[in-house]
Amino acid sequence: MDDHEHSDNGDHTHHDHSDPGVSDEPNEIADDREVDRVEQGILEEEGEDAEKVEEEIHERTEHEMGNGADGHGDGHDGHGGMHEGHEQMFRRRFFVSTLLSIPVLLYSETLQGWLGFTVPAFPGSEWINPVFAVIVFAYGGVPFLRMAAPELEDRSPGMMTLISMAITVAFIYSLASVVFPTQSAFFWELVTLIDIMLLGHWIEMRSVRRASSALDELAKLMPDTAERITESGDIEEVPVSELSEGDLVLVRPGASVPSDGVVEDGDSDVNESMITGESRPVSKEPGDEVIGGTVNGDGSLRVRIGATGDETTLAGIMRLVEEAQESKSKTQVLADRAAGWLFYVAVAAAVVTAIAWTVAISFDATVIERVVTVLVIACPHALGLAIPLVVAINTSLAARNGMLVRDRIAMEEARNLDAIIFDKTGTLTEGEHGVVGMETIDGVDEDDALALAAAVESDSEHMIARAIRQAADERGIDAPDADDFEAMKGRGVRAMVDDDEIYVGGPNLLNHLDSDVPGTLQTFAKEAGENAQTVVYLVREGELIAAFAMADVIREESYRVVDALHELGIEVAMLTGDSQDVADAVADELGIDTVFAEVLPEDKDEKVQELQDQGKLVAMVGDGVNDAPALTRADVGIAIGSGTDVAVQSADVILVQNNPMDVVRLVKLSKASYRKMQENIVWAAGYNVFAIPLAAGVLAPIGILLSPAVGALLMSLSTVIVAINAQLLRRTDLSVPGLPGVSPPGQARPAD
């Protein structure tokens, strides 16, 4: 409502949104798209589930197109839906392949000898292993072969190439052993290898799958329809996509503004916080500009459309989010790097083995068996689980402590952060105004003054009214009854309290009443203005008796988090759309290093880039739609859980407990998880480094030769060690250290 006068902290004029630039690594983006294309082809083979995913993608895309988003979300919806389908695909293939592997394990002579059991033989039972192994390979193994193709085309072999090489060699050799009997076959190793790789991939997809629906959430801010006023004055409901520049639309109380434009008639407060970050509703009157997607207050507005589709502020933010997502360079996972190295090691070892054994004993079946053993043992059972297991435990441990991790690469990067940028409104501050100061004239008690103000504001839902009532509640003050309430537009409110006429309002109220301001209240108002605080006055029977200073209240946790990050050697910056005075006041209070004030949405993205250009690894902590491009651009995007949906969807980590102190825990967990990943890679790759030379026969002259069966046993042992080591991550102490001036924000909780 318009009961109180308040200043507009920024001119929210529509600006053209410059293109922040495309990715500097087009080849890597093309490679990612090729991998996505191959994986989508596999997903489509899944039948009804894939069709369902595609239908959902189509429906969401049509919704965005209808909202004038020009289809910006198309690629992202397809990407998010595809990865959701991948998780289900690998889960299904893992369970089916594992079930089909049971007969192979039961009829494996090697396992029967190790475990001392036998199973009944029957005519044709000798075909159980090859038949079921072929089925498992075709159903569970072929997807890895297809996903290895982009790696080979890019000449950057990784995990998929290494897996594909091992299962293909084991498959061909095992089938050949049926026709040309050899000392051993690899049927049981083949199926278990495929099962474990499917399990690892399923865990990986579930743990790190990132639902790229930020653009969906942005599109939802736009209404589906608008009420257009015709030349004859009639009102017609039309889709927003049909609006054109120059159209006149009616925006009713509580409705969303359908597109950018200028108010031609009407007065109202418009909530722009989800777009501009401005913490207070902005008063709008004829001549003022409004932004599409913002929410109208209690008054009706007639708006002349000035921009539609791609030209709107919201579309500009959507474009920035999309471009920021694309601009992120491809970061290979540690395990994939290790797999790439192992691929070359295995191929080189196989070539050397073939040459050495051929020279030593001439070419025969023994040489082939040695080469096959080397290539199969090179396949990383343990390496395939080394990272996914840590990620899964990391995700659980983080969630138990109020952090939802959506991007594992960002979690890895958090350990090396140089700077963390915090959005002000709703992150470092409460996002709602409160009474931060009070002054009364001689003879008037503060509690009595607050009681009178609360009485007058008892029926108002204006944010200043809520702040005054909350201040009274915090002091345990019971407000007296008020009647004959009157709203004075642009000046304040009036009511009768105990037969006294009481006014509450801003400076315009004093001009209206022609009231003199006592010296003590003048000094108070001047100091409040210097601190960028809003001053509200209390007038009783024409006499000015008290003044209240209003400001967006700083969170108690903000003091602790800034101190803690400084102790960790991390620079703290603040980013806000508020005025420089407001930003400087908050920064001085908290001891923040760098301040970016009066920043428009597109500039927030640029400020993050500015710090990155200085060679710093940057995290962004925010909660508003206007933070979405910056959250995505940052090396680590952290959203406050109470923030808007789009901020959550654009972030890498979500602080669900709405406690910025959890940023410190995030850094600590990142360090512990990365260390555990390194340890697991050492254990997993160490097995290969040890086993490959033995399989090649380097110790054959002294009678030591690693058989395929023993190699499989060592492979299993390595997998068990990696799994146990990953579980030790649960013991990580995430309690915040007792830094000077820093109070622990509660007891850390273990993972499930």
Cα dihedral sign for 75, 76, 80, 86? positive
DSSP tag of 415: G
Side-chain half-sphere CA neighbours of 73 within 13 A: 31
Strand arrangement, sheet containing 594-596: 403-405, 653-655, 636-640, 618-622, 419-423, 571-575, 594-596
Helix locations, 574-638, DSSP H: 580-590, 601-613, 628-633
Interior angle at CA 335, CA 333 and CA 339, nearest 5: 120
Sole residue written with tokens 């050397």: 352
Helix locations, 642-661, DSSP H: 645-650
The Cα 576–Cα 557 span in angstroms is 18
Residues in CB range of 5: below 8 A, 6 or more apart? 490, 491, 492, 505, 506, 507, 508, 509
The Cα 281–Cα 302 span in angstroms is 18
Cα dihedral sign for 196, 202, 206, 212? positive
CA dihedral 732, 738, 739, 745 (to 10 degrees): 80
**Which stretches does DSSP call E strand in 424-581?**
429-440, 483-488, 492-497, 500-505, 534-540, 543-554, 571-575
The Cα 424–Cα 421 span in angstroms is 9
The Cα 174–Cα 187 span in angstroms is 6
> In one letter, which amino acid is 625?
V
Residue 8, SS3 per DSSP:
coil
The Cα 718–Cα 683 span in angstroms is 7
Residue 425, SS3 per DSSP:
helix
The Cα 183–Cα 213 span in angstroms is 54
The Cα 139–Cα 371 span in angstroms is 26
> In one letter, which amino acid is 597?
A
Known active-site residue 11: no
Contact 455, 479 (CB under 8 A): yes
Instruction: Choose, from 195, 269, 423, 635, the residue flagged as catalytic.
Output: 423
Contact 62, 367 (CB under 8 A): no
Catalytic residues: 423
